[in-house]
Amino acid sequence: MSNTRRAQPRLVPSPRGGVLSVEVSGAPDGRPVFLMHGTPGSRSGPRPRSIVLYRMGVRLISYDRPGYGDSTRVPGRLVRDAADDVAAIADDLGLATFAVIGRSGGGPHALACAALLPGRVTRTAALVSIAPPDAPGLAWFDGMAKGNTSDYEVADRDIALFTQRLLERADHVRRDPRILMDALRGELRDSDLRVIDDAAFRRHITDTYVEAMRYGGHGWVDDALAFRRDWGFELSGVDTEVLLWHGADDSFSPVGHTEWLASQLKQVEVQIQADTAHFGAMEILPQALAWVIADA
C-alpha cells in the first residue's frame, strides 16, 4: 500500500451542489475502476501503489464521499446518492463504462451503483459489506462488536445525541488519529491485529483518517445514518456480476450480512475466507481488482 505524497485532487461539480474531490491513479489508459472507501475514510484510503495498478492495467478512481475530505457535505444523503456522484465523476472523466469496488462502508455504495447505473457498471465487488437495516430474516446486530452496536443503537434512538458524540470523537481523531486505532484494538481479532500492527499500513490508515476528517466528522455521521435508513434502491435491480468477499471472523461487519446479500443477488460469487476478519479486505484488494476487470 502506498503512503507517498499525493497529487492535488480533481474537483468535480456535485449533482447536489458543491464539489466532489477525486483522485485518479494507476495506468492512464487502464480499465477504469471506482474504489468506494470505508467508514470513516477518504479518497486516499489504503490501496495498491500506483506502479502496481499500472502493471495490472487499472485506472483507479477514488473520491471523498460528501462530508469527507474536500467533498462538500450533503446533509441527509442516502446510500443511493453515490450512484449520482459516480455518474457525475465518470462523465467528467469521459468514461462510458467502469467497474466498482466498495470496501466496508463503501460496499453498500458500490451496490447502489450496480443497481442504479445499468449499462455503465460492468462488474462490482463488495468487500466486508453490511446489509440494509430492514433485511428480512437477518439479525442485523448478531456477531457485531459492542462499539458498533452501541453506536447504531444510539443513532436509531437519538440522532442529535449520536451526531454530537460522533462529531466529538471525530475531532479527537483528527487531532490524534492513533486514538481511533487504539480504541478498536480491544475488539479486533488476531488476524486484524496482524494487519494494523504493520507500521506502513498503520501510518497510511491514520493519514486517511486525518484526510477524512479534515473539516470535521460530518461525513462519518452521514454515512452511519444512511446505513440505518432505507438505502433507496432494490438489490433485485443489480444485473451485473457481483463478487462478495468477507473474512469469516469479522466482528465489525458480521459475515451474516454478506450471506444475506448473496441471497438477494442474481449473479454472485461469494468468497468467505477463514481465519480472516475485517481488515483482511485491505490485503485482498488486488485480487478483487483483478476480478472486476477480468471480463472488461
pLDDT in tens, 137-184: 999 999 999 989 999 999 999 999 999 999 999 998 888 877 777 777
Local confidence band at 207 (pLDDT 50, 70, 90 cut-offs) = confident
Quick one: the chain helix, strand, coil %, rounded to 5? Answer: 45, 15, 40
Lowest mean pLDDT among 1-5, 13-17, 88-92, 269-273: 1-5
- Average pLDDT over the chain, rounded to an integer: 93
Local confidence band at 1 (pLDDT 50, 70, 90 cut-offs) = very low
Please provide the CATH number assigned to the domain covering 10-293: 3.40.50.1820
Mean pLDDT of 41-48: 89
Lowest mean pLDDT among 78-82, 91-95, 292-296: 292-296
Local confidence band at 199 (pLDDT 50, 70, 90 cut-offs) = confident
Question: Interhelix angle for 159-175 vs 199-212, to 10°?
Answer: 130
Mean pLDDT of 17-41: 97
Give CA–CA dist 250/248, Å, rounded.
6
Burial zone of 202 (CB within 10 Å; 0-12 exposed, 13-18 middle, 19+ buried):
middle
Local confidence band at 195 (pLDDT 50, 70, 90 cut-offs) = confident
* pLDDT, position 296: 56
* pLDDT, position 2: 42
Give CA–CA dist 151/217, Å, rounded.
14
Q: What is the pTM of this model?
A: 0.94
Top-confidence residue, 186 or 126: 126
* pLDDT, position 18: 97
* pLDDT, position 6: 58
241-247 sheet: strands from edge to edge: 10-13, 19-26, 58-63, 31-36, 98-103, 121-127, 241-247, 268-273
Give CA–CA dist 252/99, Å, rounded.
26
Mean pLDDT of 111-127: 98
Top-confidence residue, 130 or 190: 130
* pLDDT, position 47: 87
* pLDDT, position 3: 41
The residue written with cell numbers 468468497 in the block is 271
Percent of the chain exceeding pLDDT 70 equals 97
Top-confidence residue, 197 or 222: 222
